[in-house]
Amino acid sequence: MTAETAPVGAGVSTDVLRKWVPWAVLGLGVVALQVTFGGAGSFPAALDSFINDPLDSLGDWIRANRRSHALFTGFFNPLTDLLNFLIDGIESILLWLPWYVVVGGAFVIPARVNMWKQGLLAAAVLVYTGLIGLWAPTMETLALMSVAVMIAVVLGVPLGILAALRPGVERFLRPILDAMQTVPAFVYFLPLLGFFGIGSVNAAMATVIYALAPVVRLTTLGIKQVPVQSVESARMFGSSTRQTLMKVQIPMALPTILTGLTQTIMMALGIVVLAALMGAGGLGENVFQSLSQRRTGRGIAAGLAIVAVAIVLDRVWRSLANIDPLSRAPRKWLWSGIGALVAAAVIGRLTGLIDFPEVWSLRLFDPIDNIVVWARDNLRWLTRPVNDFIVAGIIVPVRDFLTDTLAWPVLIFVTGWACWHVKGWKLALFGAGSVAVIGLIGMWELSITTLVQVMTATIISVAIAIPIGIWAGRKPRVEAAMGPILDALQTIPSLVYIIPVVILFTVGVVPGIIASVLYAIVPGIRISALGIRQVPEESVEASRTFGATPRQTMLGVRIPLAGPTIMTAINQIIMMVLAMVIIAGFVGGGGLGFETIRALTRSLFGLGAEVGLALVLMAMILDRYTQAWGERLQPPTGH
C-alpha cells in the first residue's frame, strides 16, 4: 500500500465505523435488554394511582361542590350562564326570524362588500339545510359555532398580535399552543364537563381550546411578515406604535389572519359531531343517530349541513374583515339591507311564514343506503379478505409481538436510539422518557394497541398520499380535478364516512383505520404537491441540460429537493391519524380511543387524564421525530 492510498483507506475505515457503529450499538442493546428482561412481564404501572386517585377525588369534589363552592358560584357558573345566554339568544333569534330572512342575511352581509358569489354560496347552502328538513338543527349548530368562533377570534387575534410584538410572549405561548394542537380535542371534554356541566357551553369551550391555536399562530405570522420598510415609514411620519399597528400592520397582515380564521372555523367544524357527546345537540346529534342506525345517506345529509354552517361562518367573517373604512358603499348597503330584512321579518311574523316549508326530508338520501347495502352484499369477496389481512395479518401479530414477545425496556431503548440517531441526546431523552411515562401510568398495552393502528393507517396513508401528491404537483389539471374530492374529505365530519365503512367491513379496527386514511391523505396530498411545485425550475433545467430523463429528474432532483416538505406532509398525516383515535374507538377499534369514550361516558377523571397524557406523549414523540427528519432533509444553506 502506497503513501497516497493509506490515508484514503484510513478515511474509508473511519466513515465505515461512523456509519455502522450506531447500528451495532442498537443491535447489541436490543439483544442485551431482551435477554435480561425477556421474562419481566408487563410494564410496572408505578404511577397509575399517583395520577388516577387524586383526579378521581377531584372529580368527586367537583360533583359535590358544583352548586355551593365559591369557585363555581363566583366564576364558572356565571360564565356558564353568560355563554348559555349568548348561544341560546342567537339560536332563539335565528329560529324566531322567518327562514328567508336568515338566508337573506347570509347573502347581504358578504354582498355589501361586493362578495356577491360568496354571498350567493352562503345563501344556497343554507337553503339546502332547509330543503332536507334540517333547518332547526342547523340553526342550533350555527349558534354554537358562532359563539365559539367569536370567542376564538376575540382571544386569538390580540394574543397573536401581542406575541408578534413581544418575543417573550411568543416563547411563553409556543408550548401552550403546541399542546393545544397536539392534544386530541376529546381530551378536553372530561375536565370541561366537570367545570361547565353538560350542554352547549361545554362544547363551545372545547371548540375554543381546540381551534384557538391557528388564529393565534397565523396572526403572529402575519404581523411579523409585514415589511420592515412599511413599519419604519409609518414611524417616520409620526405614527405612534398603536397607530402603526392599526393602520399598517393589521391591514397588511389581514390575508394571513383570515387564513387563520378559516382554519379555526374548519377545526371548529370537526368538534361539532363530538360535541353531541356532551349534550350540545344540533347536527352532531343527527350524525350520531345515523351512525347508530347505520343510515349512510342521512349521515351524509347531516354532514353536508355541517359543511354548510362552516361555509356560512367563513364567508360572513371574511366579509366583516373586508370592510374599507373609507368607503361609504358598504355602509349604504348595510342600512339598505337591514331595512329590507326588517321589513321581510315583520311580514313573515304577521303572515306566519316563519318555518322552512317542508319540501323534502332525510328520506331523500335513503337510496344511498341501498347502494351501500348492495356493496356490502356483493363485495364480500373483497372486503372480507382485506379485513382479515389487516386484522390477522398485521394488527394482531404486531401488537402481540410488541406486548408479549418484546421486553418493554427494548422499546424504550429503541425509541431513545431512533431519536438520538435523527437529532441528538435531547430528543432521545425526551422520547425514551415519554415512553417510560406511558408505561408508568398504566397505559402500556393500550398505547401499543393504538400505536399499531396509528402506524398501520399512517403507512397506508403515506403509500397513497405521497405518490398522488407528487403526481398532482407535476400535473396542475390532476390537482384541480381532485380538488372537490379533497375538499369533501376534509370538510365532511369523519364520523360521516365511517358509517359506510362500518357497514362494509363490520365493527372492529378496520373501519377506524380506513376512516383515518380517508381523513389523513388530504393534507398529505396537498402538502406533497406543494413541495413538488416549489422545486426551483433552474434545478430542473440544469438536470435536463445534463441529459437526465424525466424519471431521473423526478427521482434525483424534484423529490430530494421537496424532501423537507414531503416530511411535513408525513408529519401532518400522523397528526390527522391520531386525531381519529376516538372515532376508531366508536366502531370497535379498542385501545386508547375506547378508553377515552369510557372515561367520558362514566366521568372517570383519572382514567381520562391518563389516556390524554398517553395520547399527548405519543403525538409529541411522533411529531418531533418527523420534524427532526424534515430538518435533516433541508438542503445546506452554506455557500
Count of domains in the chain?
1
DSSP 529-593: HHHHHTS-HHHHHHHHHTT--HHHHIIIIIHHHTHHHHHHHHHHHHHHHHHTHHHHHHTT--HHH
User: What's the pLDDT at 416?
Assistant: 94
Tens of pLDDT along 227-242? 878 888 878 877 777 8
- 638 pLDDT tier (thresholds 50, 70, 90): very low
Tens of pLDDT along 248-261? 888 888 877 877 77
User: What's the pLDDT at 449?
Assistant: 93
Nearest to 261 by CA among 423, 172, 148: 148
CATH of the domain at 622: 1.10.3720.10
C-alpha grid cell for residue 622?
Answer: 411522533
User: What's the pLDDT at 325?
Assistant: 46
- 1 pLDDT tier (thresholds 50, 70, 90): very low
Q: Identify the top-confidence range among 58-67, 274-283, 386-395, 486-495.
A: 386-395
Q: Is 107 a domain residue? A: no
User: What's the pLDDT at 459?
Assistant: 94
User: What's the pLDDT at 172?
Assistant: 87
Tell me which residue has cell 376534509: 490
User: What's the pLDDT at 505?
Assistant: 85
Give SS3 for 244: helix
- 431 pLDDT tier (thresholds 50, 70, 90): very high
Mean pLDDT, residues 614-627 taken together: 87
User: What's the pLDDT at 461?
Assistant: 94
> How many whole angstroms separate alpha carbon 466 and alpha carbon 559?
10
User: What's the pLDDT at 417?
Assistant: 94
Mean pLDDT, residues 400-421 taken together: 92
> How many whole angstroms separate alpha carbon 72 and alpha carbon 74?
5
Instruction: Give percent of the chain above pLDDT 70.
Output: 92
Cβ atoms of 223 and 250 closer than 8 Å:
yes
Q: Is 456 a domain residue? A: yes
User: What's the pLDDT at 182?
Assistant: 63
Tens of pLDDT along 173-183? 887 887 776 66
Tell me which residue has cell 386514511: 517
> How many whole angstroms separate alpha carbon 464 and alpha carbon 637?
32
Instruction: Give percent of the chain above pLDDT 90.
Output: 14
Tell me which residue has cell 411522533: 622
Tell me which residue has cell 324566531: 96
User: What's the pLDDT at 452?
Assistant: 94
Tell me which residue has cell 348597503: 333
Computed over its alpha carbons, how large is the radius of gyration of the chain?
27
369 pLDDT above the threshold of 90 = no
Tens of pLDDT along 598-617? 887 787 888 888 888 898 88
To the nearest 10°, the Cα dihedral for 559, 562, 563, 564?
Answer: 180
C-alpha grid cell for residue 304?
Answer: 353536508
Tell me the whole-structure pTM to 2 decimals. 0.79
> How many whole angstroms separate alpha carbon 68 and alpha carbon 220?
41
Mean pLDDT, residues 472-497 taken together: 80
Q: Is 523 a domain residue? A: yes
430 pLDDT above the threshold of 90 = yes
DSSP 374-385: HHHHH-HHHHHH
Nearest to 187 by CA among 551, 585, 564: 585
Nearest to 90 by CA among 31, 171, 145: 145
Cβ atoms of 309 and 109 closer than 8 Å:
no
Cβ atoms of 268 and 152 closer than 8 Å:
yes
Tens of pLDDT along 52-102? 888 888 888 888 888 888 888 888 888 888 988 998 899 998 888 888 888
Question: What mean pLDDT, rounded, does the chain reach?
Answer: 82
Q: Among the listed ranges 101-110, 459-468, 577-586, which one has the minimum average pLDDT value? A: 577-586
625 vs 6, more confident: 625
Tens of pLDDT along 306-324? 888 888 888 887 777 665 5
Beta-carbon contacts of residue 244 (< 8 Å; ≥ 6 apart): 231, 234, 235
C-alpha grid cell for residue 572?
Answer: 401532518
Tell me which residue has cell 367563513: 314
Nearest to 581 by CA among 600, 568, 566: 600
User: What's the pLDDT at 6?
Assistant: 44
Mean pLDDT, residues 461-468 taken together: 93
| Amino acid code (one letter) for 460 | I
Q: Identify the top-confidence range among 157-166, 197-206, 485-494.
A: 157-166
Which DSSP helix (H) or strand (E) runs through 390?
none
Q: Is 595 a domain residue? A: yes
- 184 pLDDT tier (thresholds 50, 70, 90): low
Cβ atoms of 122 and 311 closer than 8 Å:
yes
Beta-carbon contacts of residue 323 (< 8 Å; ≥ 6 apart): 113, 330
Mean pLDDT, residues 425-432 taken together: 93
> How many whole angstroms separate alpha carbon 632 and alpha carbon 613?
28
Q: Is 129 a domain residue? A: no
Mean pLDDT, residues 125-147 taken together: 90
Please provide the size of the chain in residues: 639
User: What's the pLDDT at 2?
Assistant: 45
Cβ atoms of 215 and 209 closer than 8 Å:
no
Nearest to 219 by CA among 321, 316, 83, 112: 321
Judge residue 48's burial from the number of C-beta atoms within 10 Å of its C-beta, 0-12 exposed, 13-18 middle, 19 or more buried: middle
> How many whole angstroms separate alpha carbon 47 and alpha carbon 437?
8
Q: Is 415 a domain residue? A: no
Beta-carbon contacts of residue 193 (< 8 Å; ≥ 6 apart): 202, 278, 600, 603
Q: Is 562 a domain residue? A: yes
460 pLDDT above the threshold of 90 = yes
User: What's the pLDDT at 410?
Assistant: 93
Q: Among the listed ranges 181-190, 383-392, 419-428, which one has the minimum average pLDDT value? A: 181-190
Q: Is 540 a domain residue? A: yes
> How many whole angstroms separate alpha carbon 123 and alpha carbon 57?
50
Q: Residue 515's domain spans which residues?
A: 444-639
Q: Identify the top-confidence range among 36-40, 150-154, 546-550.
A: 150-154
418 pLDDT above the threshold of 90 = yes
